[in-house]
Chain A
Amino acid sequence: MKEIVYFESKRFYKGKIYIKYILVLLALLLLSYAIIKISDSTYTFKNIELIIYENFTSLFALISSIFISTAISKEHEDKTMNWYISKKIKIRDVVVGKFIFYFINLSIISITIFLISFFINGRVYGNGLTVLPTLSIITILVSVYFFIISLNIFISATQKNSGICIILSFVVWIILNISSMLKVVGLYIAPFIISSIQYESFYKLLNYGEIPNNFLLIVLLPIVYGLLLLIAAVYMAKKLLNDNTI
């Protein structure tokens, strides 16, 4: 698994993918300010952070698919499975190793940018939150990213072509957004959409600074979904990559 993380990081940093990723996130951050101006809202700490959170979860789900879509399907495209077999690396380790790499790297960069904007906006516009609500917000973000990245890894493990993975991610994104409009059930379907309990609790934390009673459920639900998706991803990757061996 260590080897997978090492190879993936080599590809990520050698291809300067991380620079493109940071640029996209910075553009997303600036877009959040532009949205407030376009919609004629006032620049307050709460308004800005709500839009940034919305963009850094909902749109992040779309953007991250570009960077993760090649994770597993690339192994099929490049026909690298025989190399893994020669190195005695299991498919499970390939999937989990890639997940760990993307989860740590993409989340850390994204959460760092989110937090920098969080503290700067708190300084400029006032109303900065205390430590405990801020930590709760970070925890929610981490759990949402856990779900998003495992969903993308799962999609990547289902298709032979990385281009199709992005198309599929978009379709899944729309379907999840549509299903979120269902009453009650919509709260628990996808953690990155505006009607989710995660968004609701972020709103409460931002406005009242209070940690919701069901905080454990809010954090654990995306992680449970994510784990289930990862198990499914391992199964799908086995089917996909085993066809690839000589």
Chain B
Amino acid sequence: MNRLKKLIWFESMFLIKTKTIIYLLGVFITMLVLSIVFPMNFNSDIDYKMVLGSVASVIIQFLGIGLIGLLCNLFYRDKKFSYHYWFIKHKITITDIVRSRFIFYNILFSLLAGLMFIASSIIFIFMYEVNISFYSYLYMLVLVILSTTYVVSLMIMISALVVDFVSSSGLFILIWFTIGIINGVTPYLGGYLSPLDASSVQSGVISEISGIGSNFIAEIDIYSYLLALLLPVIYAFVFYLISIKFNKYKRGIN
């Protein structure tokens, strides 16, 4: 527990010292502006529900790209800046490193994504009439948070499996595109693979609640609502297990 605390402290100090946190806030703010402007550009008859749906979709589908610079660099930077010595000195194992990063970044970005969603919903109260029920709003908020854990876990897993920075970011982009291709070829299967695409079950549920467009083709029922929430968490857990078991982060520590 002590080592875990040390590592989380180490990660937060890294974000602050390298000023990465400022750039990440920049990512969130620009994404917020994009999600505000985006629906206005295409539809003049938009309402509160639709704008919230757009915000949720933008966060789920684009956040991954914004985080590439940090999360795909996660294990490579240890090698580059020789953080290994610090880990050896504090008797920290590889499992500790992977676990602490999963915990820290999942909490950090889920919170930031959730806050961004809440902030946008507050901003829009002044612009549109509120026409969404509390439970629908809460559902969308939880969906955004859980989908963010999927994206973050996927990126940490890629970073742990392919330690090189260019390779891991390239691989993430490849996966992003491949999900899009699978959705095009087998839409029923593709919808349940990842929330990153506009054809996903998450996108379908958001569309059902908010009334914005989606490419999800299966019918939305109560199970879809449940699956949309559960699938990202299950996938995130699988990604965690894969990272612990198959990470290539072995040199210099053990």
Max chain A Cβ within 10 angstroms of own Cβ: one of B30, B65, B169, B177:
B177
Q: Are A39 and B215 in contact (CB under 8 A)?
A: yes
Q: Are B73 and A170 in contact (CB under 8 A)?
A: no
Q: Are A166 and B167 in contact (CB under 8 A)?
A: no
Q: Which of A26-34, A200-208, A228-236 contacts B (4 or more CB under 8 A)?
A: A26-34
Closest to A62 in B: B65
Q: How far is the CA of A25 from the CA of B25 in the complex (A)?
A: 30
Q: Are B166 and A31 in contact (CB under 8 A)?
A: no
Q: Are B165 and A70 in contact (CB under 8 A)?
A: yes
Q: How far is the CA of A66 from the CA of B165 in the complex (A)?
A: 9
Q: How far is the CB of A12 from the nearest CB of chain B, in Å?
A: 10
Q: How far is the CB of B102 from the nearest CB of chain A, in Å?
A: 18
Q: Are A170 and B166 in contact (CB under 8 A)?
A: no
Interface on chain B toward A: helix, strand, loop, or mixed SS?
helix
How many pairs of A and B residues are in contact by the CB < 8 Å rule? Answer: 116
Q: Are B73 and A174 in contact (CB under 8 A)?
A: no
Given contacts A34-B184, A175-B30, contact A167 B165 (CB under 8 A): no
Closest to B178 in A: A27
Q: How far is the CA of A230 from the CA of B246 in the complex (A)?
A: 42
Q: Are B185 and A181 in contact (CB under 8 A)?
A: no
The answer to whether the Cβ of B243 comes within 8 Å of any Cβ in the partner chain is no
Q: Which of A15-23, A95-103, A134-142 contacts B (4 or more CB under 8 A)?
A: A15-23
Q: Are B170 and A24 in contact (CB under 8 A)?
A: yes
Q: Are A177 and B34 in contact (CB under 8 A)?
A: yes
Q: How far is the CB of B31 from the nearest CB of chain A, in Å?
A: 7
Q: Which of A80-88, A107-115, A157-165 contacts B (4 or more CB under 8 A)?
A: A157-165
Q: Which residues of B contact A168 (CB under 8 A)?
A: 23, 26, 69
Given contacts A63-B173, A66-B68, contact A164 B18 (CB under 8 A): yes
Partner of B30, one of A163, A164, A174: A174
Q: Which residues of A contact B24 (CB under 8 A)?
A: 167
Given contacts A177-B34, A181-B37, contact A167 B23 (CB under 8 A): yes
Partner of B41, one of A39, A171, A181: A181
Q: How far is the CB of A24 from the nearest CB of chain B, in Å?
A: 5
Q: How far is the CA of A161 from the CA of B14 in the complex (A)?
A: 12
Q: Are B184 and A171 in contact (CB under 8 A)?
A: no
Q: Are B69 and A165 in contact (CB under 8 A)?
A: yes
Q: How far is the CA of A175 from the CA of B32 in the complex (A)?
A: 11
The answer to whether the Cβ of A178 comes within 8 Å of any Cβ in the partner chain is yes
Q: Are A163 and B181 in contact (CB under 8 A)?
A: no
Closest to A17 in B: B166
Given contacts A20-B170, A174-B31, contact A38 B183 (CB under 8 A): yes
The answer to whether the Cβ of A37 comes within 8 Å of any Cβ in the partner chain is yes
Partner of A27, one of B37, B73, B177, B187: B177
Q: Are B20 and A167 in contact (CB under 8 A)?
A: yes
Q: How far is the CB of A62 from the nearest CB of chain B, in Å?
A: 6
Q: Which residues of A contact B178 (CB under 8 A)?
A: 27
The answer to whether the Cβ of A119 comes within 8 Å of any Cβ in the partner chain is no
Beta-carbon contacts under 8 Å, A64-92 to B:
66-67, 69-70, 77
The answer to whether the Cβ of A132 comes within 8 Å of any Cβ in the partner chain is no
Q: How far is the CB of A8 from the nearest CB of chain B, in Å?
A: 13
Q: Which residues of B contact A171 (CB under 8 A)?
A: 23, 26-27, 30, 66
Q: Which residues of B contact A67 (CB under 8 A)?
A: 166, 170
Given contacts A33-B184, A35-B180, contact A167 B174 (CB under 8 A): no
Q: Which residues of B contact A23 (CB under 8 A)?
A: 170, 174
Q: Are A30 and B37 in contact (CB under 8 A)?
A: no
**Chain B interface residues toward A at CB < 8 A:** 18-20, 23-24, 26-27, 30-31, 33-34, 37, 41, 65-70, 72-73, 77, 80, 164-167, 169-171, 173-174, 177-178, 180-181, 183-185, 187, 198-199, 215
Contacts A28-B177, A161-B18, A167-B66 given; 6 further ones with Cβ under 8 A?
A38-B199, A66-B166, A66-B170, A67-B170, A167-B26, A178-B33
